[in-house]
Amino acid sequence: MADELLEHIGKTIRAVRQEQGSSLEEIAFAAGLSYFYLSQIEHGRRNLTIRALYKIAAALGIKPVSLLPGQPLNAGPQGKPEVLKTLRKLQAQIKDL
């Protein structure tokens, strides 16, 4: 059961991150975690702490409970993900100039 839980959480993190158009590096940086650690979590190969779960959820802009099985994705407080989206939009606009 533990392996299934880790796989579910990892797949959910990856799906939300990709849906947002965020890279692994961006979310790892926003969460204050290493790229390798987050990659291992996404692949269900690494057990994560409650603290890491909260950091990742905050970086994704969702509530931590949303990463658990049977839970809907609920938006959390807006923060770093919105800033990252704004920065990407500005970078695209600058390239167009």
pLDDT for residue 9: 94
pLDDT for residue 87: 62
- List, as own/partner pairs, every contact residues 84-88 make where C-beta atoms lie below 8 angstroms and the sequence separation is at least 24, other chains included: 84/22, 84/26, 84/30, 85/20, 85/21, 88/21
pLDDT in tens, 18-35: 999 999 999 999 999 999
pLDDT in tens, 30-77: 999 999 999 999 999 999 999 999 999 999 999 898 898 887 776 555
Which residue type is seen at 94? I
pLDDT in tens, 9-19: 999 999 999 99
Domains, the chain, ordered by start: 2-96 (1.10.260.40)
- The pair of three-digit structure tokens given for residue 26, joined into one six-digit string: 């961006």
Whole-structure pTM value: 0.74
- The pair of three-digit structure tokens given for residue 6, joined into one six-digit string: 């880790």
